[in-house]
Amino acid sequence: MKQQQIQSLLDKYFAGESSLQEEAQLRQLLQTEPISEEHLTYSEWFQLLDEEAELSLGDDFDAKVMASIEAYSKPKPVIRTLSTSWILRIAAVFALVATGLWWLVRSNPVEQPVVAEAEVKVIDWSKYEPKTVEEAYKVTRNAFRKVATEFNEGTAIATQGIDKMGEMGKLIK
Partner 1 sequence: MNPTDFKNTILPYKDKMFRLALRLLNKREEAEDLVQEALIKLWQQQDRLAEVQNLEAWVIRLTKNQCIDRLRGSKNGHKEWKDGLDWADSTPLPDARTESADTMNKLQKLMERLPENQRLVMQLRDVEGMSYQEVAEALDIPLAQVKINLFRARQTMKSILSSRTPQV
Partner 2 sequence: MKIKHFFTLAIIALAAVNGLAQGATSTTASAIDKYFSSYVEDKRFDVVYISPKLFQMIGKIDSKILDMEDDAEAKAILDMAKDLQGLRILTTDETPEVFYKEAKAKINTKEYEVLLTVRDKDGDNVEFLIKETNNVIQELLLLSGGKEEFVLLSFMGNLDLNKITRLAKEIEKK
Q: Residue 125 binds which entry of partner 1, partner 2, none, with Cβ cut-offs from 5 to 8 Å by kind?
A: partner 2
In whole angstroms, give the CA distance from residue 13 to residue 26. Answer: 9
Three-state SS annotation for 83-130 = HHHHHHHHHHHHHHHHHHHHHHHHHCCCCCCCCCHHHCCCCCHHHHCC
Q: Residue 103 binds which entry of partner 1, partner 2, none, with Cβ cut-offs from 5 to 8 Å by kind?
A: none
DSSP label at residue 154: T
Selected from 63, 82, 87, 171, the binder of partner 2 by CB under 8 A is 87
> Is 107 a binder of partner 2 (CB under 8 A)?
no
Select 24 or 147, whichever has its Cβ closest to partner 2: 147
> Is 68 a binder of partner 1 (CB under 8 A)?
yes
Select 69 or 110, whichever has its Cβ closest to partner 1: 69
In whole angstroms, give the CA distance from residue 145 to residue 93. Answer: 21
- DSSP E strand stretches across the chain: none
Q: What share of the chain is helix, strand, coil (3-state, %, to 5)?
A: 80, 0, 20
Convert residues 37-76 into a mask of x (bound to partner 2 by CB under 8 A) and - (unbound): ----------------------------------------
What is the nearest approach in angstroms of partner 2 to the Cβ of residue 103?
Answer: 10
Stretch that binds partner 1, among 84-92, 105-113, 134-142, 159-167 (CB under 8 A): 134-142
Residue 148: which H helix or E strand, with range?
helix 133-153
Spatial contact of 100 and 168, defined as CB atoms under 8 Å apart: yes
Stretch that binds partner 1, among 67-75, 81-89, 98-106, 156-164 (CB under 8 A): 67-75
Q: What's the first-to-final CA gap in the chain, in angstroms?
A: 93
Select 21 or 112, whichever has its Cβ closest to partner 2: 112
